[in-house]
Amino acid sequence: MTSTDRDSAHRAHLDRLQQAYAELLEHSGFDAALIYSGHARPQHGDDQESSFSAFGHFVHWTGAPHHQHEWLWIAPGTTPRWFYYAPTDFWHLPTPPPQGVRAACLDPTPLSQPTTAGALIGAHPRVAVLGDVPEDAVPATATLNPPSLLHALDELRLYKDDYESDCLRLANRQALAGHAAAREAFAAGASELDIQLAYLAATRQRESELPYQNIVGINAHAATLHYQHYATEAPDPLRSLLVDAGHRHAGYCADITRTWAALDADPLFAALIEGVTAFQQRLIAELAPGVDFVDLHQRMHHYLGDLLADTGIVRGSAEAAVASGLTRAFCPHGLGHSLGVQVHDVGGLQRDASGTPLPPPTPDPALRLTRTLAPGMVVTIEPGLYIIPFLLAPFREGSERQAVDWDRVDRLTDHGGIRIEDNVLITAEGHTNLTPASALDAR
């Protein structure tokens, strides 16, 4: 998109939200909505604040994921009003006023100090107050976080328009630059901490601006799915690197994972990376409206079973590996999730705007998306293969022990695991990979 096209798409996005909110408020019996951004709170017994991310429905309008003490007033037939927090302060630099399309469409009004829902609502009846607001701070005439309205707004966020998908595409572009820098640092022998710093430098962001804490796991650390540390020294020998890292653009999140084999890696590990990458691309090729994501998750396990059998890790058939639960010991997480202004975006586990739960199957409790795919959804596709000893122990010690070549497993234990993740937009014609295919050579 050109900047002019992007501005037009942005206006269309805000117009869409205004029309949708008007319909949903009328349907829910409210005259207006007041959305609170939220704010950070001090750590217990300290004056330092915890990290903060603004309420998703606030970010959906404003693209401001780190703004605190701010409100958005939305009433049908009037211009939405953004009360942005800009105190006169010598401790912190005040938030600059909204610019561009947001300033033109959201009627920015500065707040010199934090204010309450009651002060903004005044005498207005039938207002829905949305966000992390104390119940006793909401006037009796208003309703705090009405579930039916929130379910409907979650459903609205599930479907991205042209502006949103472009923001996600731009976030992916920046994140991919970081992944390339991470790979270069690893090849030069860098530690996890140094790889993280290389990623931040390449993506031009602070850690506090990341959509989630980056996962940078060398060797066995790659088998901890949400590995949270950054070792300051590189191990010897180097076997593998897994980087799960993202970027935000105007509040929208990229969530990309890549895995690389080091020169000292077992050749079997490199073959497994190629295999996971191949069936990840096969799964992406199957994305289209009408596809049941739970069924696609099940196919992931069959493809994983095929790979384990083809590489000799599993001695029996792929079908037997799936039926016994063995593939779930090698990959205990779900195939993917919805993506938007939150990394694990809302609406993935409800049937529709009614909010009726659509829980994951019993064998797959970690699956975060159980919907039938439709145009406008953006999903991650992130199959994995990990050597997690305590998950494999029941198979090593039980009746299935002959079904696995444990010597091959043991060769891979200090390599950790593999995950390959792209972000994909579902379109009327099929899908568009927002994590470009040209980046495959960076895996």
Tens of pLDDT, residue by residue, the chain (443 residues): 888 999 999 999 999 999 999 999 999 999 999 999 999 999 999 999 888 999 999 999 999 999 999 999 999 999 999 999 999 999 989 888 999 999 999 999 999 999 999 999 988 889 999 999 999 999 999 999 999 999 999 999 999 999 999 999 999 999 999 999 999 999 999 999 999 999 999 999 999 999 999 999 999 999 999 999 999 999 999 999 999 999 999 999 999 999 999 999 999 999 999 999 999 999 999 999 999 999 999 999 999 999 999 999 999 899 999 999 999 999 999 999 999 999 999 999 999 999 999 999 999 999 999 999 999 999 999 999 999 999 999 999 988 899 999 999 999 999 999 999 999 999 999 999 999 855 444 44
Q: What are phi and psi of 259, to 5 degrees?
A: -130, 135
Q: Which residues of 291-330 are buried (b: 16+ CB within 10 A; e: fewer)?
A: bebbebbbbbbebbbbbbbebebbebebeebbebebbbbb
Whether 416 and 220 have beta carbons less than 8 Å apart is answered as yes
Cα(371)–Cα(345) distance, integer angstroms:
13
Whether 383 and 417 have beta carbons less than 8 Å apart is answered as no
SS3 of residue 35 by DSSP: strand
Instruction: Write down how long the chain is.
Output: 443
DSSP state for residue 371 in the 8-state scheme: S
Report the relative pairing of strands 384-386 and 417-419 from DSSP bridges: antiparallel
Q: Which of 211, 50, 209, 201 has the alpha carbon at shortest distance from 132? A: 50
Q: What are phi and psi of 349, to 5 degrees?
A: -120, 25
Cα(236)–Cα(189) distance, integer angstroms:
9
* CA 329, chain centre distance (Å): 23
Cα(17)–Cα(157) distance, integer angstroms:
10
Q: What value does the CA radius of gyration of the chain take, rounded to a whole number of Å?
A: 24
List of residues 6+ apart from 151 with CB closer than 8 A: 350, 353, 354, 355
**Predicted local distance difference test score (pLDDT) of residue 439:** 46
Whether 248 and 278 have beta carbons less than 8 Å apart is answered as no
Positive or negative, the CA dihedral 51, 151, 157, 362 is: positive
Query: Hey, which residues does 72 pair with through a beta bridge?
Result: 35, 82
Say which residue the tokens 């860098």 belong to.
190
Cα(206)–Cα(203) distance, integer angstroms:
9
What is the CB neighbour count within 10 angstroms for residue 243?
28
DSSP state for residue 64 in the 8-state scheme: -
Cα(39)–Cα(54) distance, integer angstroms:
7
Amino acid identity of 211?
P
Whether 339 and 377 have beta carbons less than 8 Å apart is answered as no
Query: In which order are the strands placed within the sheet that holds 142-144?
Result: 108-111, 81-85, 71-74, 32-36, 127-130, 142-144
Cα(94)–Cα(209) distance, integer angstroms:
17
Q: Per the omega criterion (within 30 degrees of 0), is the bond before 237 cis?
A: yes
Query: In which order are the strands placed within the sheet that holds 431-433?
Result: 378-381, 422-426, 431-433
**Predicted local distance difference test score (pLDDT) of residue 400:** 82
Q: For residue 133, what are its two tokens? A: 């607001």
Cα(361)–Cα(378) distance, integer angstroms:
21
Q: Which of 164, 162, 156, 165 has the alpha carbon at shortest distance from 22? A: 156
What is the CB neighbour count within 10 angstroms for residue 379?
26
Q: What are phi and psi of 198, to 5 degrees?
A: -65, -40
